[in-house]
Copies of this chain bind each other. A is one copy, B any other.
Amino acid sequence: MQNVPYSHRISQVAPSAIREILKVTQDPTVISFAAGNPATESFPAGEFSAIIDRILRESPGSALQYGISEGYAPLRENLKSYLKSKYGIGRDFDDTIIVTGGQQGIEMTAKTLLNDGDTLVCEEPSFLGALNAFRSYDAVLKSAPVEKDGMDLERLEAILKEDKRVKLVYVIPTFQNPSGRVMSLEKRKGLLSLAEKYHFMILEDNPYYDLRYEGEPVPTIKNMDDKGYVVYCGSFSKVLAPGIRVGYVTAPDWMIAKLTVAKQLSDVHTNLLMQMTVDRYMREIGLDRHIEDILRINVRKRDLMLAALEENCHGFMDIERPFGGLFIWAVLPEGYDGTRLCRIAGSYKVAAVPGASFCVDDAKPYPAIRLNFSLPTAEQIEKGCALLGKACEAYRKEV
């Protein structure tokens, strides 16, 4: 049957500029800085294999049978102590559920809280996957700009004053995607105060926190959440491997109860063998040692890309030096558009993501692009930045 009207919610999620760019990356001769992938060489494949072999010998039944929607109990307990002792996350009223990657935590939070027409405020720019999940529940999306020290709280409060239907504020306070910026401690406290004053929930998405290459850690918002306003999404994608699809949500227990219902409907439970593997990895090897390995790999690539951009694109783009995460945010001069630059870059066989893709209104020109430094090799970084330099040159001549 053709011409079935899709649901309104799925029609909301229109193909965006990012798809066009990602098509460019299908060409194997294109160097891609468009990904959001961690460094492939950092994955602990050998340790995983040994752990999986033991699990399948020792408890084949429980590893391959149905599990409960809340997640594998030992991993949940393990994770709760880890979050508590390392980050001060989790009060008596909080609980933790295992999800199939951070994206599912975001999607289920939207499903659980948002009614059609409720307002969600995000940072601008922000993570496209989350924005599309919110769109798919017919939320009204509004945004406040990400300043150098994080979300513009004055703009947020102006929205809160005029719109009584703000139910959720979505932030990536640490090494924000795509900007790489970090929200200051003062603003984190300020956001929490606004939540108490205007009675909305905060969705703190925190996949990059451990990937800090310099500077002092800033506490998470969840760390300061004494009253249960924060739903916290974490992920093993950037500290172990994304292909395993294991993440978690820590939130007040009444919220976890509803997320468990949503989880049951979504996919019953997260892959059990992978949950058990993560649990054993944390207990027997520990994340900390592995995170050090990742940092060593990533900081080298970041510095290489910063140097190559400085060499090739200097004077055209304002290259921000990220203290952590996976991305470099490059701001174009007034009057230039990131989408146009990415198109030109594509013709030079290098791919980046236009800033507009991360905006609520993604059709509007936006003078920035996002560059990923964790996935490409050193050689690709150098070659790709040289090509990007040529694309900048070509764009400059065009305007």
Residues of A within 8 A of B (CB): 1-2, 4-10, 13, 35-38, 40-41, 43, 45-46, 48-49, 52-53, 56-57, 60-67, 99-101, 103-104, 107, 111-116, 118, 129, 132-133, 136-137, 167, 195-196, 199, 201, 227-229, 237, 241-245, 252, 254-255, 258, 261-262, 264-274
Bound: A241/B45 CA distance, A:
23
Residue of B nearest to A52 (CB): B52
Query: B66, A104: Cβ atoms under 8 Å?
Result: no
Find A136's partner among B1, B4, B8, B111 (CB 8 Å cutoff): B111
Shortest A221–chain B CB gap in Å is: 13
Bound: A336/B398 CA distance, A:
81
Q: Which residues of B contact A136 (CB under 8 A)?
A: 111, 262, 265
Bound: A37/B61 CA distance, A:
11
Shortest A147–chain B CB gap in Å is: 26
Residue of B nearest to A241 (CB): B64
Residue of B nearest to A72 (CB): B243
Q: Which residues of B contact A61 (CB under 8 A)?
A: 40-41, 43
Query: A114, B7: Cβ atoms under 8 Å?
Result: yes
Query: B116, A116: Cβ atoms under 8 Å?
Result: yes
Bound: A245/B63 CA distance, A:
11
Query: A115, B7: Cβ atoms under 8 Å?
Result: yes
Q: What is the count of identical protomers in the complex?
A: 2
Bound: A86/B66 CA distance, A:
27
Known interface pairs A43-B60, A49-B52; 19 further A-B residue pairs with C-beta atoms within 8 A, sorted by A's residue number = A1-B199, A2-B254, A4-B167, A7-B137, A36-B66, A43-B61, A43-B64, A49-B53, A49-B56, A100-B245, A100-B267, A103-B266, A107-B266, A129-B268, A133-B265, A136-B265, A243-B272, A245-B268, A271-B271
Q: Which residues of B contact A48 (CB under 8 A)?
A: 56, 64
Query: A101, B45: Cβ atoms under 8 Å?
Result: no
Between A and B, 13 residue pairs with Cβ closer than 8 Å are A2-B254, A4-B201, A4-B255, A6-B112, A7-B115, A45-B63, A49-B57, A64-B242, A66-B242, A66-B243, A101-B268, A104-B267, A136-B265
Query: B65, A10: Cβ atoms under 8 Å?
Result: no
Bound: A379/B269 CA distance, A:
29
Bound: A226/B313 CA distance, A:
56
Query: B13, A265: Cβ atoms under 8 Å?
Result: yes
Query: A270, B258: Cβ atoms under 8 Å?
Result: no
Q: Which residues of B contact A100 (CB under 8 A)?
A: 100, 245, 266-267, 271
Bound: A225/B139 CA distance, A:
36
Query: A37, B66: Cβ atoms under 8 Å?
Result: yes
Shortest A204–chain B CB gap in Å is: 14
Query: A1, B229: Cβ atoms under 8 Å?
Result: yes
Bound: A272/B48 CA distance, A:
14
Bound: A271/B4 CA distance, A:
30
The 4 closest A-B pairs by CB, nearest first: A45-B60, A64-B241, A243-B272, A100-B267
Q: Which residues of B contact A1 (CB under 8 A)?
A: 195-196, 199, 201, 227-229, 252
Q: Which residues of B contact A10 (CB under 8 A)?
A: 111-112, 258, 261-262
Bound: A391/B52 CA distance, A:
43
Shortest A297–chain B CB gap in Å is: 13
Shortest A394–chain B CB gap in Å is: 31
Residue of B nearest to A276 (CB): B243
